[in-house]
Structure 1
Amino acid sequence: MAGAVRLMRALDRELFARPPQVVAPELIGRLLVVGDGPERVAVRLTEVEAYSDEDPASHTYRGRTPRNEVMFGEPGHLYVYFSYGMHHCANVVSHLEGRSGGVLLRAGNVVDGVALARSRRGRPSSDHLLARGPGCLTQALGLSLVDGGSDLCKPSARIRLYDDGYRFEVSSGPRVGVRLAADTPWRYWAAGERSVSAYKRSPRALLSEG
């Protein structure tokens, strides 16, 4: 990220205090930075998905639980969950006052700390695979359940989101692998980027929605 560091601006809470489907496309091209010094890894986001409380595919659709509590709280925090007993997924809490929701961080390009990301990921064949998919992204960044609830807008935070002025052309379409509201076009990605995961419609959605 040589040269870009001088231009980086931390994203503030006001950006996240809006509907998740509005926030989501604005996160494409932003930098998610975790750690400092030799433990620092930065990913430029290339793919995200939005989930609101009116969305049957959202973890908050059926109300508040101990698991999803953070998604009802202050925008700009991190919601992390363990998916299918296999990997962690990270979401940025985004919603209007009195609502709930978030943006799932699906993929990105590792632009700093590549060697550390490779070691965490088992050295995949190509660097564009390091953070391709939500589980790979959290693994490359070293994120887990212990990071749930982290305030991304706190100046001293270990995990932060930045804007360094970099922009992609943004495309949108159906979300990946969800059973309910499978055709809601709240998946956003950087057009033409190899780190973007392949679209896969859930077989359960095919059966349930015909």
Structure 2
Amino acid sequence: MNSNKKDNIYHDVRPLPPSIYKVTALEAAPKLLGQTLVRRTEDGDIRCKIVETESYGGIEDKGSHAYGARRTARTETMFQEGGACYIYLIYGMYHCLNVVTGDKDDPQAVLIRAVEPLTPRDAELMRIYRGKLPAGKPANLSNGPGKLCRALSIDKSLNGCLLNQMDGPLYLEAGADITDLSIVQASRINIPYAEEYAFVPWRFYIQGNPYVSVVNKQAAPFTIPR
């Protein structure tokens, strides 16, 4: 569908710098915070701020689907050159969205764990796609990887979509200046099988943002290297 010009009044449409797709997942994960995820739908474009990410990097990461160079029909997208999205299904019912980064044949992926709608209109469209929400705080709309995929109508049909192409159904735009964000890092969520990699501080989130899925009291301040 064609983007409604009215949707663009409240922000400057700028692509992410290509460099963010060329680095490792661990380098890219904090840099994706504050950036804008755009889902183009038949009802209009939905824009959200990325507020929480998780890094899964390389064949040595025991938390990664590609650990040990496991190359299957499911993981093949992870081996693409940075810029594609890797979408998979967990528990047979929840989709998860990842940003593929790095070089071809080096499986690097950043899981998008939580997003915040940019405007009330974006939030309303997301509520329509989510359906009936459980009682609780408004952030339950998209404060988790499965929740945000439902709210943005993201499923495996979008697997491999190029996030660095702004004419597609799902893409990334430049958002907030990351130097203005208060970023913390903490351990990843629900990967006990990853052994020593289960506790590495490879999850990043914007401190104090209500849409963050899990707040870790031991989270440490993180400064993005210049």
Q: What TM-score do the two structures reach when normalised by structure 2? A: 0.81
Q: Give 1:103 deviation, angstroms.
A: 0.2
Does the C-alpha gap of structure 1 residues 156 and 2 become closer, same or farther in structure 2, counting only changes over 3 Å?
Answer: closer
Separation in 1, partners of 2:107, 2:208: 31
Choose which of 101, 115, 118 in structure 1 pairs with 2:127.
118
What residue number does 1:92 align with?
99
Separation in 2, partners of 1:127, 1:108: 12
Does the C-alpha gap of structure 1 residues 155 and 42 become closer, same or farther in structure 2, counting only changes over 3 Å?
Answer: closer
**What percent of counterpart residues are identical?**
30
Separation in 2, partners of 1:10, 1:36: 19
Q: Structure 2 regions of 5+ residues with no counterpart?
A: 1-6, 217-226
Separation in 2, partners of 1:135, 1:97: 27
Coordinate RMSD, CA, aligned: 1.9
Does the C-alpha gap of structure 1 residues 160 and 45 become closer, same or farther in structure 2, counting only changes over 3 Å?
Answer: same
What residue number does 1:56 align with?
62
Q: Give 1:122 deviation, angstroms.
A: 2.5
Q: For the Cα contact (< 8 Å) 1:9–1:162, is it kept in 2?
A: yes
1:28 match: secondary structure: coil
Separation in 2, partners of 1:83, 1:36: 24
Separation in 1, partners of 2:31, 2:10: 19
Separation in 1, partners of 2:72, 2:153: 26
1:40 match: secondary structure: strand
1:194 match: secondary structure: coil
Q: Give 1:158 deviation, angstroms.
A: 1.7
Q: Structure 1 regions of 5+ residues with no counterpart?
A: 201-210
Please, which moves more after superposition, 92-101 or 51-60? 92-101
Q: For the Cα contact (< 8 Å) 1:128–1:194, is it kept in 2?
A: yes
Separation in 2, partners of 1:164, 1:43: 9
1:105 lines up with 2:112 in the alignment: yes
Matches for 1:1-210 after TM superposition, within 5 Å: 4-5=10-11, 7-35=12-40, 38-53=43-58, 54-62=60-68, 63-112=70-119, 113-124=122-133, 125=135, 126-167=137-178, 168-179=181-192, 180=194, 181-198=197-214
Q: For the Cα contact (< 8 Å) 1:108–1:132, is it kept in 2?
A: yes
Separation in 2, partners of 1:161, 1:114: 18
Q: What TM-score do the two structures reach when normalised by structure 1? A: 0.87
